[in-house]
A and B are shown apart, each in its own frame.
Chain A
Amino acid sequence: MTRSGSLSRRALLASLAGAAGSRAMGRTPYGGRLRVAVPWPITSLEPASLSDGFAALFAGAAFEPLYALDAAGNPYPALAEALPSKLDRGCRVALRPGLRTAAGRPLAAADVLATLARARSRGAVGLLGELESPEVDAKDPLGVVFPRSQADAVARVLSSPLLALVPRNFSPLSPDGCGAFKVELGRGRALLTRNPNAARGVSYLDAIDVTVASDLADLLRGFETGTTDVAWFGTGLYRAVKDAMPFEAPRYGFAVLMAGKAAGAWAAPGTLQALLDAIPAGQLSHLGVRGLPPQSSGSAAWGGPATTVAVLANAPQLGAIARAVAATLSTPGHELTVVEKSAEELASLQATRQFGLLVDQVRAPTALARDIELALRTIASPDAAKRAPKTAPLAPRDLGRQLPLGVIGELSIWGTRRAPFVNLEAWQLGGVWFRAPNGSS
């Protein structure tokens, strides 16, 4: 050294620590570079998207919502200064002062309004439901007023990762948030580096390199050859890798089958789920799908018109799932043929419903049953999702029996990781750290 001349707060601060908490001794080391291949195309990073697998895995590293949920599911302030305060008619939320995005843009109430407006036109349409559009507090550029809204309901809604705060001129092609990492997107790859303006703590890792896997074997081959640090769905393609540990991260989404206008009467609510529940788990489990029914029941025979099953191109896991589902459900005269589509084509098909069947990914924004139900309802019908019943949430497969959408199974990263990467299981990437081989222990 040289010398020259309230509960909410507690919860916030507890959350800052991530896995490390306020542990002392030696400090959790900074440094390390995680390399991950993903079975999803990398073109953009849209925090409000429900169907982008890359966003489902990495939006949480780059963006933060105004509130977060504690272990009991109660919201606490993250980017907000405090829990919403009640007003005579509505409630008020204030941003923490001094917040900046990774690119250095200051954030204010106008950014909250822009965030909510764009999320309402994307994956958060069901989540925002009948919540009225907020206004900037005339007396405070960091304050937002939600007219005729309950404070606790607003806090719960604003804790969704789909409503992560982004600046007014946000573009998913050059994502900019106040999460632990800043993101640079390249052709088929993404580079996540430490965000110096991270509002809830900078990352321990220096960087995360994300690349696109060309096929499912690639997800294992890279680990075996030492080019990636995570092996999906196994320990290695041909041999076990030294210094590897079993690993399972939380579910990040669901593979779903949707029916369009070309499916005719077979698009009726519950039909697809009945078919999917009849598929033996062994047909899909080798593709990394979890949450399959232990016992299949009913008939897995498609009786609708011969049609196509559209699926996202360059998504090897989803493509393999679509092919397995199509092969299992096809019957003579009722063949199902898989066709790969670009993200734009797929979005267009979904908007017009001009397709037979479609296999897609639906993000699980949180682990809460209500959030998952809203996500599935939003994908099935955005308009209907706005008026989702406020009854006890249903399990995804049970919900599928009420929707023109069937849940195939759960998507998660599981397999093997290199041992030095600690805390990867929680998939809170800002809190992952690298234990150097010669480091203290």
Chain B
Amino acid sequence: MALLLGVLASGTVARAEPARDAGACQPDRGSLAFVACSLAAQLALPATGASVTVVGLKSDRELPAADAVRERVQSAVAAAVGPRAEGAAGARAERSKLLVELSIEKSGGVLRVSAELRRRTGLWQRVRHAKPSSERHAFVEAPLDAELRALIPPPPLVVSEVLKLKAPERGIVALACGPLGSDGGQELALVSRSSVRVGRIVGGAFAERKRVAWSTLSVVAAAPLREPIASAEITPQGGLRLGISDRRDGLELSRELGVVARFEGLLPVPGGGCAERSLLGFSARIQSCAQPTNGRTQATVLDAVAGLPGVQLGRDLASARLNGARPELGLATSRVGAQLALGDADSDGNPELAFSSDTLESAKDRLTLVTLDGKKMVPRFDLPAPNISAVAICSRREGPGMAPLVVATGDELWLIR
């Protein structure tokens, strides 16, 4: 009875400290640290801390070092929720009364960890086979960073499925794929010469959520190009940045396709910044989108751009070779087509580049995927795809394989997984 009273008197983590701000946990300090910090903040444990155990590990593909994953997550969380240094000698005894149970799931390119805070069972409860209820719940999702990738190898970059569906219109000139807005899953943004659409692929068809006509977004460019150059990007912050040489303004749009920002005379470059219009394309000098155009001529003119934060590439209009901060890449491949996309398709930290062929005959067009690994360009696959007009690599993986690639070809959309 005293044991029971003792248990009751201790309350239900009544002496928990105010919750630490989960927003203070920085993802850039490493995914494991972020997971541990976020869980500790959400659970708001008392200074006495809690012991940690892993009760489950699920993965969308077999993990070669599952035990190591359990151990690394457990130890990282244990370090975050353990007793504070100033804890009294009795803290250890108190700590033993609280238990954090972790369920780990590896899905696509992310690690999801949910935590249940329970009170350890006493003798009487064990006799009664009573399972203590969860007193607090926490959840966190983090991308597979370099530390986790050492334990969870990336998926092979191979094509296991090509889903072909009818595009809502012909002439799609730019594509983007990623979580648009802060509260949804991945969506597709389709940019044509007349409109911008966002939606998802549902049941083998493109299900449009929202569409807006270019005529309501921007006036026509004073001197458009006969063959348009366009870009589209769903930013890590969930905005849609896009532009097309037909129109005067580059734009940032909200999830509901409202204009958030306008960049006159500039084309937003995926990965950040903008490029200024030149006579036949866009300047290779990437500038701030807030900076007005200066009309200065730039020797190198691009007719395609692609990028991720930290890596940006273009296609040199004159040579059809890659142009970017890593000049060796321009030499590592022969000429590329005018459709480029960059993304980390296997979540291994090295970006993948997808590009069309430098051909003027639609039947000879192909989609090529390579990995930019330091100074090397590692070929992955090459897929015949006639008449490619736009390419995107989705920012998230959605299963055990690589992140989906989306290709606009003629009047079709291809989803390559």
Contact A440 B335 (CB under 8 A): yes
- The secondary-structure label for the interface of chain A is loop
Known: A9-B194, A9-B213. A25 touches B338 (CB 8 A): yes
Known: A26-B320, A441-B360. A1 touches B314 (CB 8 A): yes
B398 interfacial by beta-carbon distance below 8 Å: no
Residues in B with CB closer than 8 Å to A99 are 222
Question: How far is B323's CA from A24's CA once the two chains are assembled, in angstroms?
Answer: 18
Contact A431 B358 (CB under 8 A): no
Contact B286 A26 (CB under 8 A): no
Contact B171 A26 (CB under 8 A): no
Contact B226 A26 (CB under 8 A): no
- Who on chain A is nearest to B356 by CB? A25
Residues in B with CB closer than 8 Å to A435 are 360
Known: A13-B194, A16-B226, A430-B226. A5 touches B287 (CB 8 A): yes
B63: shortest Cβ distance to chain A, in Å?
39
- Who on chain A is nearest to B284 by CB? A1
Contact A22 B227 (CB under 8 A): yes
Contact B193 A14 (CB under 8 A): yes
Contact A440 B360 (CB under 8 A): yes
Residues in A with CB closer than 8 Å to B219 are 81, 96-98
B385: shortest Cβ distance to chain A, in Å?
10
Residues in B with CB closer than 8 Å to A96 are 219-220, 222
B85: shortest Cβ distance to chain A, in Å?
44
Question: How far is B96's CA from A83's CA once the two chains are assembled, in angstroms?
Answer: 78
B396 interfacial by beta-carbon distance below 8 Å: no
Contact B222 A3 (CB under 8 A): no
- Who on chain B is nearest to A9 by CB? B215
A10 interfacial by beta-carbon distance below 8 Å: yes
Question: How far is B218's CA from A81's CA once the two chains are assembled, in angstroms?
Answer: 12
Question: How far is B275's CA from A198's CA once the two chains are assembled, in angstroms?
Answer: 21
Known: A1-B284, A9-B213, A202-B223. A25 touches B365 (CB 8 A): yes
Contact A13 B246 (CB under 8 A): yes
Contact A2 B284 (CB under 8 A): yes
A197 interfacial by beta-carbon distance below 8 Å: yes
B214 interfacial by beta-carbon distance below 8 Å: yes
Residues in A with CB closer than 8 Å to B107 are none
Residues in B with CB closer than 8 Å to A23 are 227, 362, 387, 389
Contact B213 A24 (CB under 8 A): no
Known: A1-B284, A2-B285, A202-B280. A24 touches B338 (CB 8 A): yes
Contact B358 A26 (CB under 8 A): yes
B288 interfacial by beta-carbon distance below 8 Å: yes
Known: A1-B285, A6-B213. A22 touches B224 (CB 8 A): no
Contact B246 A28 (CB under 8 A): no
B5 interfacial by beta-carbon distance below 8 Å: no
Question: How far is B287's CA from A12's CA once the two chains are assembled, in angstroms?
Answer: 30
B273 interfacial by beta-carbon distance below 8 Å: yes
Contact A1 B361 (CB under 8 A): no
A196 interfacial by beta-carbon distance below 8 Å: yes
A4 interfacial by beta-carbon distance below 8 Å: yes
Q: Which of A6, A21, A196, A440 contacts B227 (CB 8 A)?
A: A21
Residues in B with CB closer than 8 Å to A17 are 193, 226-228
A100 interfacial by beta-carbon distance below 8 Å: yes
In this complex, the member of B172, B219, B227, B288 whose beta carbon has the largest number of chain A beta carbons within 10 angstroms is B227
Give a binary string over B19-52; 1 marks a CB under 8 Å from any A CB, 0 the rest: 0000000000000000000000000000000000
Contact B338 A30 (CB under 8 A): no
A435: shortest Cβ distance to chain B, in Å?
7
Residues in B with CB closer than 8 Å to A100 are 222
B113 interfacial by beta-carbon distance below 8 Å: no
B246: shortest Cβ distance to chain A, in Å?
5
B291: shortest Cβ distance to chain A, in Å?
7
- Who on chain B is nearest to A6 by CB? B215
Residues in B with CB closer than 8 Å to A14 are 171, 193-194
B317 interfacial by beta-carbon distance below 8 Å: yes
Contact B248 A98 (CB under 8 A): yes
- Who on chain A is nearest to B228 by CB? A22
A27 interfacial by beta-carbon distance below 8 Å: yes
Number of residues from A at the complex interface, CB < 8 A: 45
Q: Which of A5, A27, A197 contacts B288 (CB 8 A)?
A: A5
Question: How far is B216's CA from A6's CA once the two chains are assembled, in angstroms?
Answer: 9
A5: shortest Cβ distance to chain B, in Å?
5
A56 interfacial by beta-carbon distance below 8 Å: no
Residues in B with CB closer than 8 Å to A2 are 284-286, 325
A222 interfacial by beta-carbon distance below 8 Å: no
Residues in B with CB closer than 8 Å to A194 are 279
Question: How far is B358's CA from A12's CA once the two chains are assembled, in angstroms?
Answer: 28
Give a binary string over A74-100; 1 marks a CB under 8 Å from any B CB, 0 the rest: 000000010000000000000011111
Contact B193 A1 (CB under 8 A): no
Residues in B with CB closer than 8 Å to A26 are 320, 335, 337-338, 356-360
Residues in B with CB closer than 8 Å to A202 are 223, 225-226, 279-280
Give a binary string over A28-56; 1 marks a CB under 8 Å from any B CB, 0 the rest: 10100000000000000000000000000
Known: A24-B389, A197-B223. A441 touches B361 (CB 8 A): yes
Give a binary string over B374-403; 1 marks a CB under 8 Å from any A CB, 0 the rest: 000000000000011110000000000000
Residues in A with CB closer than 8 Å to B313 are 1
Contact A16 B214 (CB under 8 A): no
- Who on chain A is nearest to B283 by CB? A1
Residues in A with CB closer than 8 Å to B228 are 13, 16-17, 22
Contact B220 A12 (CB under 8 A): yes
Give a binary string over A417-441; 1 marks a CB under 8 Å from any B CB, 0 the rest: 0000000000000110001000111
Give a binary string over B345-363; 1 marks a CB under 8 Å from any A CB, 0 the rest: 0000000000011111110
Question: How far is B192's CA from A197's CA once the two chains are assembled, in angstroms?
Answer: 23
Residues in A with CB closer than 8 Å to B171 are 14, 21-22
In this complex, the member of B286, B312, B360 whose beta carbon has the largest number of chain A beta carbons within 10 angstroms is B360
Question: How far is B221's CA from A16's CA once the two chains are assembled, in angstroms?
Answer: 11
In this complex, the member of B222, B284, B285, B303 whose beta carbon has the largest number of chain A beta carbons within 10 angstroms is B222
B324 interfacial by beta-carbon distance below 8 Å: yes
Known: A4-B287, A17-B227, A26-B337. A10 touches B193 (CB 8 A): yes
Question: How far is B246's CA from A200's CA once the two chains are assembled, in angstroms?
Answer: 9
Q: Which of A5, A16, A24 contacts B337 (CB 8 A)?
A: A24
Q: Can you list 8 pairs linking A and B with CB atoms under 8 Å apart?
A: A16-B228, A20-B227, A26-B359, A27-B303, A96-B219, A98-B219, A200-B226, A202-B223
| Nearest 10 Cβ contacts at the A-B interface | A98-B222, A201-B226, A9-B215, A26-B358, A13-B193, A10-B194, A22-B171, A24-B389, A27-B338, A440-B358
Instruction: List 20 other contacts, CB 8 Å, given A25-B337, A440-B359.
Output: A1-B286, A1-B314, A1-B323, A2-B284, A2-B325, A10-B194, A13-B220, A16-B246, A17-B193, A24-B173, A25-B358, A25-B361, A26-B360, A27-B227, A81-B220, A99-B222, A198-B223, A201-B226, A202-B225, A440-B320
Q: B residues bordering A, Cβ < 8 Å?
A: 171-173, 192-194, 213-215, 219-228, 246, 248, 269, 273, 275, 279-280, 284-288, 291, 300, 302-303, 305, 312-314, 317, 320, 323-325, 335, 337-339, 356-362, 364-365, 387-390
